[in-house]
Structure 1
């Protein structure tokens, strides 16, 4: 029976994916085979020797020591796209809040609570409503930075609203390219997008390469009066540079999901309390997706949506024993492991090998189960991180 340790409040729909006759699930589990969590920080915590995998019910994994876990053979999963619709809808709300006089209009209407004469209130509102006039999204240009699961959905939404859409993503995957509408105009670089877009929406991960992607230099070239939307990660934007661009009038508005000190005093900023994925449906989708990925990995050795190991799957050979091997991506490791199996007279029927940066992963279906001595010998091969019979 596999043991799954949970942190945070995981949706019951996700927990229900674990069959009780095969999985023990709970927050007090010791020696877990897998961890399922949301925002709990694992940095600095003792790593159980039993731990095989961690699944984050969400897209960001900055609360998990991904690289360190990878070198220990621990596969880290996330759930890209499971919360995409929730974020997409909030981006639309952000654009509307930045464009129409919705928030000041609400505040003004609420300030009239002292009035008791309906006719007088309506007359006053008719007189004052021009103060809250705004524009429309139709016909405007939206620039999307990052065209993955969320970015492509935002693009489709904008096109349906009659907007023109520009896109920039230097790391666009083949799968993402297939999802992307051909009505999206691909831009060669970030400055060209910033200079043409009325709205700029950020949808890139928090990496060293994207830290302060939107900085003073980038904002100097943004279209005057543009609206910048950040529902990705706070580190992508240099907050001080944004404040300066707003105060100079270069940037029209900043709408984000990440409040910072000083934002509350700037009337051109609309800052939400990190609620982009905070919908019941999103939390359910993330939990179900994370649970399914853990189950498939523990039961079959398959990897999908990992942030430190390559995606890999292979149909099971009937009657075969499945062996999985995580190793450093250096020459000779797999060959030595196969030699050990050959010396133990274990016949390899089928196998698949994939690598990702410094790590590699292998699925091997063998005609018979290797003995403990053979498994120990494979584990001692230089470069092998973890070997497991599934």
Structure 2
């Protein structure tokens, strides 16, 4: 029996917090010291004692700032997220907000609500409608920062609507490059993307090289009255510079998903309450992906969409013994592991080793089960974080 600690209600439509989809051999637990896995959505677990038995944390959603990644890596705990599970939901909202706010639609709606008791509202609406004259988006330049799961979908949708779409992503994957419309113009710098842009929309994670990336220098390159859209992470914009640009009129509006103490006081802002992925379909997709990835790791040692270990997949275990080693990415680690196995005359039938930054992962299929003494020798190797034994496929 494997035990799962569910930290949040990861999807309204999945009974028993997603556990019903795991099948036999799994049981929910409230005791984190008993848990083999954690399912999480928004709970912040920095500082939480994760317990000695936790092997994997599956995050329903793309963000992972609420999880201590480095600590988990050193303890041999794989952290997975679900990129792309909510991409369509975010895409629809971003595209809709661009179109709606280009026309001053929300301001017009607010005017009608504020004047609902006016007996001459029909006449006054005609007189006041010029205050809400907007602009059409077709043919205008839009710059998309980040062409991953969400950004590529936004780019394709805006291309089909007739906008002049530019994209910037120095880390564009082959998978997303194939999905991207050939009409999207890729540029090599953020400066080139922002220059004369009527719209700039952000779709990158918050990292050292993206935090505060949209500042005065980038805003000054945009068209006067440009719209800035941020449905990625609050930290990506320099809030002081954005506020000043909105006040001066250099930026026409900020559309974002982050109600911070500063954004809520900015001029010409349209802020949603972190609802970019809040659809029943997105919650279902992310929850299903999280559960499947967690299950694949526990049962087969397969890592997919990890944010602190490399992806690795050797399928189901066809041999009497499979070892999964989570370890530091240092020289001669494989040599030490295989030397111990050789002394016990274990024949390696298949092996895969992958590395990501300071962490590495090794899967080894053997022609016989590993005995307890060899497991202890493996665990004693400096730099080994965790050794797991994967049972053969039934």
Residue in 1 aligned with 2:261?
261
2:316 and 2:99 map into 1 onto residues whose CA distance is: 50
2:78 matched residue in structure 1: 75
Q: Is contact 2:2–2:36 with CA below 8 Å preserved after alignment?
A: yes
Task: Determine helix, strand or coil for the equivalent of 1:210.
Answer: coil
Equivalences for residues 1-390 of structure 1 within 5 A: 1-11=1-11, 12-13=13-14, 14-19=18-23, 21-28=24-31, 30-115=33-118, 120-316=120-316, 318-390=318-390
SS at match of 2:106: helix
CA distance in 2 between counterparts of 1:217 and 1:10 reads: 39
The DSSP-based 3-state class of the residue aligned with 1:43 is coil
What does the per-residue CA deviation read over 1:202-261, in whole Å, with 9 as the maximum and x for residues that have no partner? 001011111101112222222222110000000000111100111122111111111222
Q: Distance in 1 between matches of 2:375 and 2:283?
A: 40
For structure 1, which segment, 51-60 or 251-260, has the greater mean C-alpha deviation from structure 2 after superposition?
251-260
TM-score, structure 2 normalization: 0.94
Give ranges in structure 1 of 5+ residues lacking alignment: none
Change in Cα spacing, 1:236 to 1:284, as seen in structure 2 (3 Å) is same
Which stretches in structure 2 are left out of the alignment for 5+ residues? Answer: none
Contact 2:91 2:150 in 1 (8 A): yes
- Distance (Å, rounded) in 1 between the aligned partners of 2:116 and 2:316: 68
Secondary structure of the 1:209 match is coil
Per mean C-alpha deviation after superposition, the further-off stretch among 133-142 and 144-153 is 133-142
Greater shift, 93-102 or 163-172, is seen at 93-102
Superposed CA RMSD in Å reads: 1.5
1:261, 1:318 → 2: CA distance?
A: 56
User: How many angstroms does 1:127 deviate by?
Assistant: 3.2
Check the 8 A contact 1:229/1:256 in 2, yes or no: yes
Distance 2:329 2:238 in 1: 36
Check conservation: 2:216, 2:242, Cα contact below 8 A.
Answer: yes
- Judge conservation of contact 1:166–1:197 (CA < 8 Å) in 2: no
**Which range moves more in the overlay, 146-155 or 327-336?**
327-336
Asked whether the equivalents of residues 142 and 164 of structure 1 are also in contact (C-alpha less than 8 Å), the reply is yes
Secondary structure, aligned partner of 1:200: strand
Aligned residue pairs, count: 386
Say which SS state the counterpart of residue 224 (structure 1) adopts.
coil
State the distance in 1 between where 2:231 and 2:359 align: 31
Q: Tell me, what secondary structure is at the counterpart of 1:135?
A: coil
- Cα–Cα, structure 1 residues 317 and 280, in superposed 2: closer, same or farther, change >3 Å? closer
**TM-score (structure 1 length as normaliser):** 0.95
Contact 2:195 2:222 in 1 (8 A): yes
Give the Cα separation in 2 of the matches to 1:263 and 1:302.
42
